[in-house]
Amino acid sequence: MTTTSPNPPLTPAVFHILLALSSGERHGYGVMKQVEADSQGKVNMGAGTLYGSLKRMLDAGLVKESDKRVDPEMDDERRIYYRITGVGTKALAAELERYKHLVTLARKRKLLPETFAYGV
């Protein structure tokens, strides 16, 4: 018999979107820019990946749509904003916990560069 974990591992795209939304509501373009900034330009998400993931996240209740409004820093077009939900925050925390565990494990096995630099 298999049991389903309440917070299964997230895909990289979902993880980055949740991370981007953890600091506040954003519209699609805003999410893309935040993901780019968070990953120091290493993750360049396209519209297909972003909105495909957002659709699944909306269905799973990880994010919610907010009312349409104008972004004062951009043009006067009204945009839908997305915000992280309680379920999304928990899923992000669980994923970060998994990453933390993996980093600890990597440190123990001396796989991280600083471990090599400073030695035991």
Nearer of residues 24 and 46 to another protein, judged by Cβ: 46
- CB proximity list for 9: less than 8 A, separation 6 or greater: 95, 98
* Stretch of residues binding another protein (CB under 8 A), selected from 13-21, 22-30, 84-92, 100-108: 22-30
**Hey, what amino acid is at 79?**
R
Q: Which of 38, 51, 98, 115 forms a contact with another protein (CB under 8 A)?
A: 51
Q: Are 25 and 80 in contact (CB under 8 A)?
A: no
Decide: 27 and 82 in contact? Cβ < 8 Å. yes
Question: What is the number of other CB atoms lying within 10 angstroms of the CB of residue 89?
Answer: 14
Question: With CB under 8 A as the contact rule, which of the stretches 4-12, 76-84, 89-97, 107-115 interacts with another protein?
Answer: 76-84
Residue 105 in the binding site for another protein (CB under 8 A): no
Q: Which stretch binds another protein (CB under 8 A): 4-12, 23-31, 96-104, 109-117?
A: 23-31
Taking CB under 8 A as the criterion, the residue among 17, 19, 20, 54 binding another protein is 54
Spatial separation of the C-alpha atoms in residues 84 and 86, rounded to whole Å: 7
- Alpha carbon of 24 to those of 6, 58, 100: distances in Å? 24, 16, 23
Select 32 or 84, whichever has its Cβ closest to another protein: 32
Contact residues for another protein, defined by CB under 8 A: 27-29, 32, 46-52, 54-55, 58, 74, 77, 79-80
